[in-house]
Amino acid sequence: MAVPAYKGSFGEEQATRLLWRAGFGPKPGQAAELAKLGLRGAIRSLTRPESRRLVGPNPAVDGAPLAPRDAWGHDHLWWLDRMVRTEAPLVERMTLVWHDWFATSKDGVPQKLMLRQNALLRRHALGNFERLAVDITKDPAMLLWLNGTANNVWNPNENYARELQELFCLGAGNGYSEGDVRQLARALTGFANDWTDSGPTRFRYERKLHDDRAKRIYGKKGKFTWQEGVRLVTRHRRHPDFFVTKLWGYFIPTKPSPATRKQLAKLYLKSGREVRPVLEAILAHPDLYDAGKRMVKPPVVQCAGMLRAVGRGIDTPAWSWICDAAGQYLFLPPNVSGWDDTRWLDTATFRARWLMAQHICEPARLNPDTQTAPADPAQLVDQAAAFLGSPKLSGPVRAGLERYAADTLATADKDWKQKTYPVLALNALRMLVATSPDYLTA
C-alpha cells in the first residue's frame, strides 16, 4: 500500500498553495508555470531545484550592505533576503523548518555561530536526517545552546541528551526513560571549547573528556561513542513515526491518518532516513490540496511572499521589527521547542500583520491626481488582488470587498470625486486584501 496521492486537477490554485506551503509564495507568473508541470513535475522542481542562486538586487539598508554579524536586525534581513531571492524556495523553507525543529537562539549564542549553523541546516535541507542529527550534535551553536561543551566524564550534563530525545527525535516520554537520558548524556561527553576576550572559540572533541565506560541505552549495552549515541536515538523504533508526524505538521494542519503515517514511516526507513522522498510524498498528499485545510502563514513566510509578489527586495530595516512584533524574529525562537504556530494570529500580533501590509502597499500607492482606476467594484477588487498575485478570494471575503468598493464609489457626488475615489478605493482594497483571512492563510 502506497502513500495516497492527490488525483484532482492541478492548476494555478493548487500550484499557488504548493508554493506557499513548500516555499514563500509565487513570484508573478510562477504559479502558472508550475501548473504546466503537473503535480509530480511541480514537486520535483522544488525538491530537486536546478539552481540555488539568489536572483535580484543585493539587499541594502540606507544604501549600505547588510552587516548580519554586527547590526541589530541585519541577521533577520539577511535570511529574509535569501527567502525572497532564492531560486530554490523549498531548500530555504526546509532550512527554516530545521531552525524551528532544532531551535537554537542567539540569546546565548554568538551571531557568527548562528550563521554558521544556518549554513549547516541549509546543506542538510533535503538530505539525510540521521546525518543532520549527527552534525547538529557537534555544531558549535548547539553545543553552547544546550550545554554540550559542559558535558564531560566528570560532570555529565543531561540537557542535550534530553532534548535530542524529547524534542528532536522521539517525543516526550516516547520510548525512553530517565535512565536512558542519563546514559545517553554519558555517551555524548567529550566536546570542549576555549574562551577568549572575543568569546567562545576552538570547538573540538577531546577523547580524555569522554566517558568511555560501558553504558546501557534502550536496553543495549556498550561503550558507545557520541556518534553511536545519536544513532541509537535515530534508529529507535519510535523515531520514524515521530519524524514523519512532525514533518507532516509543517505542511498540513491536520494530523495524518494512521495508515498514511505508517506508510510514510515505511518510506522513511526504506530510504535510509532520507528526508526528500518523505517530503515528496507529503507534498503530493490529497490533504495538502484540501480547500478546507488552510494554514496560517508564519510571519516571515508572509513577509517574504509579499515581497516576492510585488518584485521588491530588502530595502528597509523595518522588516526585522515588524516580523518580531508579529511573533517571529529569525535566529531568536522563544525556546528550545521553537515557535508556537497556534499563536501566529492573535490580538497581540495582528497589528504587525497590518503594518507588514502597509509597508508593502504604501510605496506602491497610486496617485489619484495622475492615475486612474475603474469605477466598477468587481474590477477594483480584481486589480487589488492582482497587486499581490491574485490570491483566490472566498465568496464572503470578495463580497465584503466589493461592498466596500461600491459604498465608496456611491459617495462620489462630484466630478473630481468620481475621478479620484476609484484610485483611493483601490489603494485601500490592496490593504484589505493583504489583511484578509484569505491572504493570511494558504
Share of residues in the chain with pLDDT > 70 (%)? 100
Asked if residue 174 and residue 103 are part of one domain, the reply reads yes
pLDDT in tens, 356-365: 999 999 999 9
Going by their DSSP bridges, the two strands 199-205 and 191-196 should be labelled as antiparallel
The total of structural domains in the chain comes to 2
DSSP assigned state of 148:
G
Per-residue model confidence (pLDDT) at position 136: 98
Asked if residue 261 and residue 344 are part of one domain, the reply reads no
DSSP assigned state of 199:
E
Q: What is the pTM of this model?
A: 0.97
| Mean pLDDT confidence for 178-196 | 97
Residue 28 lies in a domain: no
Distance CA 163, CA 376 (A): 58
Asked if residue 345 and residue 280 are part of one domain, the reply reads no
Confidence check: pLDDT of 176 > 90: yes
Residue 29 lies in a domain: no
- What cell numbers appear for 322 in the block? 515588524
Cβ contacts of residue 347 below 8 Å, gap of 6+? Answer: none
- CA proximity to 1, closest of 293, 273, 281, 289: 281
Structural domain ending residue among the three candidates 261, 289, 317 = 289
Share of residues in the chain with pLDDT > 90 (%)? 98
Asked if residue 277 and residue 315 are part of one domain, the reply reads no
Residue 77 lies in a domain: no
Question: Would you say 425 and 408 are in contact if contact means Cβ atoms under 8 Å apart?
Answer: yes
Structural domain ending residue among the three candidates 228, 261, 289 = 289
Asked if residue 226 and residue 145 are part of one domain, the reply reads yes
Confidence check: pLDDT of 1 > 80: no
- Provide the domain limits for residue 359: 299-440
Question: Would you say 193 and 202 are in contact if contact means Cβ atoms under 8 Å apart?
Answer: yes
Residue 125 lies in a domain: yes
